[in-house]
Amino acid sequence: MKRPLLACAAGALALALLAGCAQQPGAPTGVMDLAQRPAEKALLAGMRAYDDGQYGEAERLFNSALGTGLASAKDKAAAHKYLAFIYCTSERTSQCEAAFKAARAADPAFALTKSEAGHPMWGPVYRRASQ
């Protein structure tokens, strides 16, 4: 797996979450930052665990993020994508395909990058799920 690419993706997601959550002047006090929500925290922790090769923990965290209500369609798609990668690499092909379909259902614009789509383990499953 390309760890630097995943680390960059995790960092970019974290920055996007934080940038979108800056409190506006005059906003009511006590408004919770989106980055402090349990679902988004679990997503970011899952991405870190995935990047560190802790796939069991990453799977648990991605499922937790989805179960506790990710706010963004792109975040939901990202969680499903990483679950698909985990399922495919652990030979759970039907779950992998279902996760790719769930990613597309969460965000109709969801697509793997060219290098991700060319991966020998999940590329064929992704193409089948995209038909």
What are the φ and ψ backbone dihedral angles of 89, each rounded to 5 degrees?
Answer: -70, -15
pLDDT, tens digit, 9 for 90 and up, residues 16-73: 443 344 333 333 333 345 556 999 999 999 999 999 999 999 999 999 999 999 999 9
Residue 100 has pLDDT above 60, yes or no: yes
All domains of the chain in start order, with CATH? 3-14+36-129 (1.25.40)
**Interval 111-123: pLDDT, tens:** 999 999 999 999 9
Match 């349990």 to its residue by tokens. Answer: 38
Contacts of 127 (CB under 8 A, 6+ apart): 117
Q: Is the pLDDT of residue 86 over 60?
A: yes
pLDDT digits (tens, 9 = 90+) for 9-22: 444 444 444 334 43
